[in-house]
Structure 1
Amino acid sequence: AWRSADFWLIVGNLILGVFAVTGVMVHGVPLLQERGLSREVATDVLAALWVGMIVSQPALGYLLDRYDTPRIALPFALLAALGLLLLLLGGPPALLWGAVFLIGLGAGGETGTTQYFVSRYFGLRHFSVIYGSIQPFTFAIAISLGAWLLGYFYDRAGSYAGSTLVLLGAFGVAAGLLVMLGRYRYAIDGEARSHGRD
């Protein structure tokens, strides 16, 4: 699996998605305060992130069962990018709630594909080993870097505008990685297919 381009595309997609959503989780309240909300309202608005992530899971599952392509996750990455763009532009609390909801919806769907992708690209025989090898990238890089890097940019610039652009770029690149994924190598029942990228 480590020699496969698809493996690293899956890892890259997960890292970028988790990096971005972790940054929003950790810095969401001060970021929203910078958009003119009080701390109390910002806390309420940030709750939309988890609402979006909850909604994303059954929606993603339905689409993965219905469509036999990895690109089904692409709209989720684009929704997250749209949410970040709206957050960058700012507006009334209702608009910002919608922006944060889109970030949660998109990030939850986009990062929720990893286990499914591993099973469809590499089968079930070595699933635990392959999926387990992905987790260090998530914890060592994505989660820690997401919180730290946004704080670093804020300290340097004095605002979250640059940080928001970084998150927007992360989801944009993640969407590009999804487009580059080859066709599934394994059927849902675990049987290998003859096509797919080596």
Structure 2
Amino acid sequence: MSEIKQTAKNEWAKGWPIVLASLVGIMLCLSPLPYWALAVIGEELGKEFGWDRQTITAGFLYMTAGVLVSAPIAGLLVDKIGARKVLLPSIIALGLGTMSFALMTSDPRVFYLIFFITAVFGTGTLPITWTKAIVNNFDRYRGLALGIALTGTGLYGFVATPSIQFMIDHFGWRAAYVSVGALPILLSLPIAYILFKDEKEEARLKTSDSNGVRRLLIMGLGFAIALFVSMQIVTTVAGFVGVMALMVTFLIAYLILVYLRSDAGNTEVPGLTIRQTMMNYRFWVILFAFLLLGAVVSGIIANSKYILLDKGYSPQDATHLFIGAGVIGLSTLTGRILGGWLVDHFWAPMIAFIFMSLPAFGCFVFAWDMGIGMNVLALVLVGLAAGVEFDLMAYFVSRYFGMKSYALIYGLIYAAFGLGSGTSPIIFNILRGDDADYSNVLKLVAIGFIIGAALLLTLGKYRDFDGEALS
């Protein structure tokens, strides 16, 4: 027991700078920054440019598309040249991209292009990069370290609304965008430069194949251009449903291309190659489970206010109950840390099943409206599920596939997760159609929670890559 405690103590003594830098970096990464900025500034864009809600929120589809095309590329680069070399320039790109929203005109295509480009070059700030160093330096308390770092995705929500609104009230929405974009450059960049140093990674990284990296970047840029142009055409011809189908097609094409072309990872690093991973059923179980779970969690959170409004609640009551940094924000943060601690002590798929299946009960609560108290409980359950998603993705990849191609595998799974979570709010409303409320949709979502959670129970025992020779 004393040896275990000493190991854990040594992990934290050496790894706390990485966790701290990751917490700040994830707090100001591509995931929360554009979301909260648009959530507050969106109304101002509608007033100035005459855009409706659908035009404004469609920006998230283009961000999702940008992440879809660049997340696997970012992951492959991290495995080839190291996380630090990817995330530092990506932080700058995210900041400048966010600032460039201040230069928008009334043409929504400019708005979508900025969203897309910011996502493509800012994907390196997502947990794909930060978690690589954490799982590299933590074993006994890997889950807790991940949970603490990943609370950053929720922490920004507590200060985003008042700070952005202050800038709008005193300096206008364009200045607000500049202030939001300045945050990663002024805060996360210097902290990451000083503290985010993975000595284990640097020691075993071989000299990268510059030609391979160059080919990789050209391939990614080609994919990005093709996807953006295709989205413009498909949006006109087939609407947003066609765009979602297009993104699914690109994800499938990416999976095939990665399988055929990639040989990521250092041969000295324990773990599966990407080809071995894609021949392993666990990869497909995790990818599909998180695509499904990302969709149902995001769909519930994005539409929770409208679900209550359809049940007869006043706008004031609905807003009070489900404001972003209220019930849902606190339960998400709780889920991050609690889930991280639990997977260090118990079998992670069982913890995942518990956290991800309980929201099915919440769906039935919403569907039949069992009162305010039960509605709060329902959203707490959804918030807890949202809290453990990122923890579990990183934990599963490291425990079942090792570190050889960690970031690429994580990037592919994150792309699927982003596809589900980015498109589900629209899918929810398509499925609702002309129904009076979301009751029928919620029943389908409950089934989705149960299926996604149950799939993770099939993963089996962890693999000890340090103790086995891989062919």
Using structure 2 for the length normalisation, give the TM-score. Answer: 0.38
Range with bigger deviation, 115-124 or 29-38: 29-38
For the 8 Å contact 1:84–1:100, the answer to whether it is kept is no
Range with bigger deviation, 89-98 or 119-128: 89-98
Q: Which residue of 1 aligns with 2:466?
A: 191
Matched, 1:16 2:295: no
The partner residue of 1:167 within 445, 451, 463 is: 445
For the 8 Å contact 1:56–1:108, the answer to whether it is kept is yes
* Structure with higher helix content: 2
2 CA distance for matches of 1:111 and 1:85? 25
Q: CA deviation at 1:111?
A: 5.3
- Amino acid across the alignment from 2:458: M
Matched, 1:144 2:438: no
Structure 1 residues 13 and 112 mapped into 2: Cα distance closer, same or farther (>3 Å)? farther
1 CA distance for matches of 2:387 and 2:463? 24
For the 8 Å contact 1:80–1:102, the answer to whether it is kept is yes
Structure 1 residues 156 and 5 mapped into 2: Cα distance closer, same or farther (>3 Å)? farther
Structure 1 unaligned blocks of 5 or more? none
The runs of 4+ residues in structure 1 deviating greater than 4 Å are none
For the 8 Å contact 1:123–1:192, the answer to whether it is kept is no
Structure 1 residues 120 and 39 mapped into 2: Cα distance closer, same or farther (>3 Å)? same
Q: CA deviation at 1:68?
A: 3.7
| Partner SS state of residue 91, structure 1 | coil
Range with bigger deviation, 56-65 or 156-165: 156-165
Structure 1 residues 96 and 193 mapped into 2: Cα distance closer, same or farther (>3 Å)? farther
For the 8 Å contact 2:398–2:406, the answer to whether it is kept is yes
Structure 2 unaligned blocks of 5 or more? 1-276
Residues 16-54 of structure 1: CA deviation (Å, up to 9, x unaligned): 111011111221111011222111211222242222211
For the 8 Å contact 2:311–2:437, the answer to whether it is kept is no
The partner residue of 2:373 within 94, 97, 100 is: 94
Matched, 1:115 2:394: yes
Q: CA deviation at 1:156?
A: 3.8
Give matches, 1:124-135, under 5 Å: 124-135=403-414
Q: Which residue of 2 aligns with 1:50?
A: 329
Range with bigger deviation, 152-161 or 9-18: 152-161
1 CA distance for matches of 2:386 and 2:321? 17
Count of residues in correspondence between the two structures: 190
- Amino acid across the alignment from 1:149: I
2 CA distance for matches of 1:146 and 1:79? 19
Structure 1 residues 35 and 191 mapped into 2: Cα distance closer, same or farther (>3 Å)? farther
Using structure 1 for the length normalisation, give the TM-score. Answer: 0.87
- Amino acid across the alignment from 1:24: I
- Amino acid across the alignment from 1:147: P
Q: Which residue of 2 aligns with 1:82?
A: 361
Q: CA deviation at 1:160?
A: 0.5
Q: Which residue of 2 aligns with 1:178?
A: 456
Q: Which residue of 2 aligns with 1:31?
A: 307
Q: CA deviation at 1:119?
A: 0.1
Matched, 1:158 2:436: yes
Residues 119-138 of structure 1: CA deviation (Å, up to 9, x unaligned): 00000121111111222212
Q: CA deviation at 1:89?
A: 2.0
For the 8 Å contact 1:69–1:184, the answer to whether it is kept is no
- Amino acid across the alignment from 1:107: A
Give matches, 1:59-78, under 5 Å: 59-78=338-357
2 CA distance for matches of 1:2 and 1:43? 44
| Partner SS state of residue 157, structure 1 | coil
